[in-house]
Amino acid sequence: MKLSSSLMYAGNPREAADQVQALERAGLDSIWVAEAYGFDSPTLMGYLAAKTETIEIGSAILNIYSRTPGALLQTAAGLDNVSGGRAILGLGASGPQVVEGFHGVPYSAPLGRTREVIDIIRRGMRREPLTSDGHFKLPLTKENGGVTGLGKALKILTHPERSAVPIYIAALGAKNVEMTAEIADGWFPHLYIPEHADKAWAEPLAKGRANRSADLAPLEVVAGALCAIGDGPETKALLDLARPLVALYVGGMGARDKNFYNQLFVSYGYEAEAKEIQDLYLDGKKKEAEAAVPLEVLELMNLVGPESYVKERIAAFRESGVTNLQIMPAVEDAPALVRRMKELVS
């Protein structure tokens, strides 16, 4: 099992790069760079590539709407070059709030668009001409909407470091997870609870894997959360740090009748809790919504507690299919925690 961590949306990227260097020396395998509507991920990834030597550097995630497939191809190829073959391209549909509210482009056909983007990027990395008859109409000719009629399918001008960059997809819904299991190299579930994962995803994962190409390696799964090892009550209290994030996603990400994360909690078996958190959050009672997040959820979702308990959580994540354990250190000495966690996951 690999060990990874992530850079959050806020903070100073230059300072974060120094932290990543220390985590790399401690043995961290992968670092994921978030984007949402903060700093763009590729700029930070390129900066990290120049500051590190061995750690894998992945976007988590770039949305598939604000950049064309050609731009995503250029990003993947460029990052893989400057990192010496350490790039991972994490993609996802994101959601209407970011895609329409920040980028100002329509949020439509996420499944078909994701599949098409992956196909174009993979062919592009092999330096094949970029063509598509789907959403993107490549090349753009006079017959399919071009103005001059001079559209010609082009291949990437430069030679990529590798002929393929791993593509990971952030997916929650059944159809999206099924597609991810079929065509992606890796999968990012969110708000992942190992003991309940099968309730939400066993069927779509099985369907997708049944149609998976033999040319693809087994699907990698990246999941995890807050991490701290300790016996005292102060360690247990760290679980409360996860309450705002869970409340935000379950309560506030999307409309009352269309919130993917709320629906995930319902599928986990927390229907009443999901409704209460959402009602409170949308009524502006954010602290009350955070308090309504069950302690059981926080305990199962995170890796916080005595070392014996953290070992149990690692085993649960591993047994559920997680191959890359993502941790967010909730301690002052993050490199020391990474070193210990590397021993525990080995």
Check residue 255 and give its pLDDT.
83
Determine, yes or no, domain membership for 122: yes
| Residues ≥6 apart with Cβ < 8 Å to 9 | 34, 35, 36, 37, 38, 39
Does some domain include residue 294? no
Residue 250 lies in a domain: no
Residue tagged 């090892």 (tokens): 229
Residues forming a β-bridge with 221: 187
Residue 189: give the domain boundaries.
2-227+303-345
In a domain, 238, yes or no: no
The pLDDT score that the predictor gives to residue 12 is: 80
Residue 280 in any domain: the answer is: no
* Phi, psi for 337 (deg, rounded to 5): -65, -40
Torsion angles phi and psi, residue 172, rounded to 5: -125, -45
Say which CATH number the domain at 309 has: 3.20.20.30
The pTM of this model reads: 0.95
58 domain residue, yes or no: yes
Domain count, the chain: 1
Per-residue pLDDT, 194: 98
**What's the pLDDT at 96?**
86
CA 174 vs CA 136, 177, 207: distances in Å: 25, 5, 10
CA-CA distance, 280 to 299, in Å (whole number)?
A: 22
Q: Assess if residue 243 is contained within a domain.
A: no
Tokens of 121: 């990027």
What is the distance of C-alpha 169 from the center of its chain? 7
Compute the distance between CA of residue 117 and CA of residue 277 in angstroms, rounded to an integer: 35
- For 3-70, give the secondary structure using H, E and C: EEEEECCCCCHHHHHHHHHHHHHHCCCEEEECCCCCCCHHHHHHHHHHHCCCCEEEECCEECCCCCHH
Do 213 and 184 touch, CB atoms closer than 8 A? Answer: no
Mean per-residue pLDDT pooled into runs of 10, the chain (346 residues): 87 85 97 92 95 97 97 98 98 92 95 97 98 91 81 94 98 96 98 97 98 97 97 93 96 88 96 98 97 97 97 98 97 97 97
Residue 120's closest CA among 145, 150, 154, 170? Answer: 154
Burial of 269 (C-beta count, 10 Å sphere; 0-12/13-18/19+): middle
